[in-house]
Amino acid sequence: MKYIDQLDLKGKRVLCRFDFNVPLDENSHIVDDTRIRAALPTINYALDEGARIIVISHLGRPKGKVVNRMSLAPVARRLSRLLGKEVIMAGDCIGDEVKRIVESMRPGCLVLLENLRFHPEEEKNNDEFAKELAGLADVYIDDAFGNAHRSHASNVAITKYVKECAAGFLMKNELNYFNRAMGEPARPLVAIIGGSKVSGKLEAMVNLVKKVDKMIIGGGMAFTFLKALGYEVGRSIVEEDLLPRAMEVMSIAREQKVRIYLPVDCVIAESMEDKAETKIVPVQEINPNWMGLDIGPATITLFSEALGNAKTIVWNGPMGVFEKDAYSRGTFALAHSVANSYALTIVGGGDTDVAIHRAKESDNISYISTGGGAFLELLEGKRLPAVEALNNC
């Protein structure tokens, strides 16, 4: 795979695919611009090289129709402010008007095209749509790691129709850090897996348990494992059909001599309502009518001690319903433990990213991935279609 700094960009039209799928409030104001800021090194490099930059991205799920509240106009305004220069906003991503705007660009200019997903052909990986996008550029740069697990026209089919293709600096960082963690990691290698359900992360767990030295399991998914071991878990989240698979993960761990850490105590409540009474109990004493919503203090100590000698830590998924203050302590405490470790620390997944920022530990993590789904598929051992397309370009 080539990277942007290996190409001659001077005076060329450079089509950059970013993941600007940022959260918006009800007034279409950007709530978090992390993904826009993550693209700045690639954009600034291309500007310094005298390129004419055409930016493409998607936002939300408009399902192939024009949905005004999913316009990239707010992104254009934020990008303009961050760069300190004008960003021209096009009314579409293909068509004669877009061609006219691109043809009139001078070196150092930047145009943002409208939401790719306003066209159904984008998600269908349509060749004709990809060909029209490719016709706008001399060089194609993919820096949209967050969308790299999708086979779409703007990141897969397009690579067949542009003379030169390369990855941007964000894509480079994402892949390099992941390879450092999972390729030839410094050991002990510890995986922390949390979140609500086993089903979304089962394949990742099966793959990881064969590679790590320790696996910490928290969040709602821990109760499926606890129930598989015969514990009463009350009304906690449990995926009954996956109890055998949970046992399979633990069986593989025993064969591989990998240590599995499960909660030993938890915070329980009758409901998730703010006024609901909470208790901290050992996992053996969960009330049949209550539900587990966070790990308890003994588990925090156990998990933190398990990280004590770690040289590499990969974390995906919170330890509880951290959005609510009463159930946030476990996730935040683990964030502090990960941040204070002497390890290479890589965090992936939207919820985990948010938790790290709320715990004010983002500056103390080696790398925070911008791609939830793409990061998870790498953990599953899968190849990313967009990365494969760049490798074959």
Provide the H-helix boundaries in the chain. 34-48, 73-83, 96-103, 120-123, 127-134, 169-182, 202-208, 222-228, 243-256, 297-306, 329-339, 350-358, 372-379, 385-391
Question: Which amino acid makes up residue 103?
Answer: E
Tell me the C-alpha to C-alpha distance, in Å, between residue 60 and each of 17, 20, 69, 135, 209.
15, 10, 9, 25, 34
Beta bridge partners of 167: 3, 142
Query: Catalytic annotation on 350?
Result: yes
> Could you say which DSSP state residue 285 is in?
G
Find out whether 113 and 90 touch, Cβ atoms under 8 Å: yes
Find out whether 367 and 180 touch, Cβ atoms under 8 Å: no
Query: Catalytic annotation on 35?
Result: yes
Q: Could you say which of 135, 200, 373, 381 is catalytic? A: 373
Q: Could you say which of 12, 17, 35, 201 is catalytic? A: 35
Three-state DSSP class for residue 222: helix
> Could you say which DSSP state residue 317 is in?
S
Three-state DSSP class for residue 188: coil
Phi, psi torsion values for 56, nearest 5 degrees: -125, 150
Q: What gap in Å lies between CA 43 and CA 51, rounded to an integer? A: 10
Q: Could you say which of 2, 124, 180, 197 is catalytic? A: 197
- Closest residue by Cα to residue 63 from 122, 23, 17: 122
Q: Could you say which of 108, 200, 350, 381 is catalytic? A: 350
Query: Catalytic annotation on 373?
Result: yes
> What would the two tokens of residue 131 be?
């060909």
Beta bridge partners of 313: 190, 345
Query: Catalytic annotation on 197?
Result: yes
Q: How many residues does the chain have?
A: 393
Question: Which amino acid makes up residue 72?
Answer: L
CA angle centred on 274, ends 272 and 280, rounded to 5°: 65
How are strands ordered across the β-sheet holding 189-193? 259-261, 214-217, 189-193, 312-316, 344-347, 367-368
> Could you say which DSSP state residue 49 is in?
T
Q: What gap in Å lies between CA 210 and CA 223, rounded to an integer? A: 22
The helix (H) or strand (E) run that includes residue 109 is none
Residues designated catalytic: 35, 197, 350, 373
